[in-house]
Amino acid sequence: MVSPTDRRSAEPATAPVLSPRSAAEVDALAASFRSAEPFRHLVVDGFFSDAFAAELVATFPPFERGDARNEAGRIGRKAVVERVRELGPAWRRLDDTLQSHAFLDLIGRITGISDLLYDPDYVGGGTHENRHGQDLDPHVDFNRHPRTRWHRRLNLIVYLNPEWDAAWGGNLELHSDPRSPDDRVRHVVPLLNRAVLFETNEISWHGFARIELPAAERHRSRRSVALYLYTRQRPPAETAPTHSTIYVERPLPERLQPGYVLGQRDVDELREQLQRRDQHTERLYREIAGLRAHVEELDKALDRGAIGRLRWFAKGLLRRLRR
C-alpha cells in the first residue's frame, strides 16, 4: 500500500475539506450511529466544508470519462471513476484527507471500529454518476478486498447534487430484509454534501429507487463519491465466508394484479427485470465456473505431488484387499 506521505499533493489547500462540525460532534455522531435502524449507520449534512463541496461539484468528471460497464460487462447508465487523484487538485486534497490518520481515527471513534484501513485503489468506489432510468437492487456488498483480502467494514458515501427532489427517485434505501414482507426501509434523499456512513456486514442491505427525472430535468444525474474502509481482522461472530455482491431483485410492481391490462411501460419494465435477473445469473455462473477451474487445477497439482502418489498407493492397496 502506498503511504500517505508518498501520495501527498504539494498543492496548497484553498478550503478545508471537512466541516468543523464533522470533527466537533463525535460523541453525538457515535450515539446516532449505534442506535440507527435497520442497521448501524449515520446521516450527516454538511460533511465537507461548503467551499470544498462546491469545488468537487465544479470539477466532477463528465459521464463519458468514467467506466459505464455494469457487473455483467454491459454498458449501462452508471459511470465510475476509481482513480480520483487524476481528477484535479480538489480530488487530490480529498484523497489526502481520506487516507490520513486523523480522518481514519475520527471515523473509528464514531463507529467504534478501530484500526481502519484506507483503500488506495478505491475498488468499487470513487466517483459514481447515475443517469435517468438507473436504479440499484437491494444488496449486501462483497465482504473481502479482492487483492489484499482485508475485511470490508464501512461504506462512506457523500452526495454531490446541488438540486435534487425526492420525487425524482434515486433515494438511498436501507433495508432490514428485502426478502421479507415485513421489510423496514429508511429512505435518504441524495442532497448536496449529505454523507451516509454505514457498517458493511451480512445484513446491511441497501440500494436506491429508480431515477425518474421529469423531461425538463434530464440534464441532471445522481452524483456521489464513495470510499470503503477495511480492517485486517474481524470479530469471528461477524465473519462470513468470502462472497461477491449479493443482490435481491425487486418484486413485481404492485399494479400488476389479476385483471390488470399491460401497457407498453409495463412490458418494458418486465423485460428489464427479466434481463437483470439473467445478468445476475450469468455473473454467478461465471463465478462458479472460475471456482471449478481453480479446484480442477488444485486437484491436478495434488495428483502431481506427494498426495497424488499417496492416493495412487491407497487405490492400489484397496484393489489388492478386494481380491
Rounded distance, CA 137 to CA 3, Å? Answer: 36
Q: In terms of Cα–Cα distance, which of 231, 179, 172, 236 is closest to 200?
A: 231
Phi then psi for 158, rounded to 5 degrees? -120, 125
What letter would DSSP give residue 120? T
- H or E element at residue 56: helix 50-58
Q: How confident is the model at residue 9 (pLDDT cuts 50, 70, 90)?
A: very low
The pLDDT value given to residue 31: 96
Residue 69, C-alpha cell as written in the block: 460497464
Average pLDDT of the residues in 204-224: 96
Q: In terms of Cα–Cα distance, which of 46, 25, 6 is closest to 158?
A: 46
Radius of gyration of the chain (CA): 23
Q: How confident is the model at residue 312 (pLDDT cuts 50, 70, 90)?
A: low
**pLDDT-above-90 percentage for the chain:** 66
Average pLDDT of the residues in 200-227: 96
Cα separations (Å) of 306 from 72, 187, 228, 251, 319?
40, 58, 42, 52, 20
**For residues 267 and 33, which has the higher predicted lDDT (pLDDT)?**
33
Cell 500500500 sits on residue: 1
Q: In terms of Cα–Cα distance, which of 179, 157, 174, 149 is closest to 239?
A: 149
* CA angle (192 as vertex; 190, 198 as ends), nearest 5: 50
Q: How confident is the model at residue 7 (pLDDT cuts 50, 70, 90)?
A: very low
- Write out pLDDT tens, residues 65-101: 998 876 666 778 999 999 999 999 999 999 999 999 9
Phi then psi for 128, rounded to 5 degrees? -125, 130
The pLDDT value given to residue 184: 96
The pLDDT value given to residue 272: 78
Res. 12: pLDDT tops 50 = no
Classify the phi-psi angles of 193: left when phi > 0, otherwise alpha if psi is within -120 to 50, otherwise beta. left
Rounded distance, CA 71 to CA 117, Å? Answer: 25
What letter would DSSP give residue 8? -
Res. 190: pLDDT tops 60 = yes
Answering whether pTM is above 0.95, one says no
Q: How confident is the model at residue 317 (pLDDT cuts 50, 70, 90)?
A: low
3-class SS at 46? coil
Rounded distance, CA 110 to CA 114, Å? Answer: 10
3-class SS at 139? strand
The dihedral of CA 277, 278, 279, 284: what is its sign?
positive
- Write out pLDDT tens, residues 257-299: 888 888 888 888 788 777 777 777 777 777 788 778 877 787 7
The pLDDT value given to residue 268: 82
* CA angle (268 as vertex; 172, 265 as ends), nearest 5: 85
The pLDDT value given to residue 80: 96
Burial label, 81 (beta-carbon count in 10 A; 0-12, 13-18, 19+)? buried
The pLDDT value given to residue 249: 82
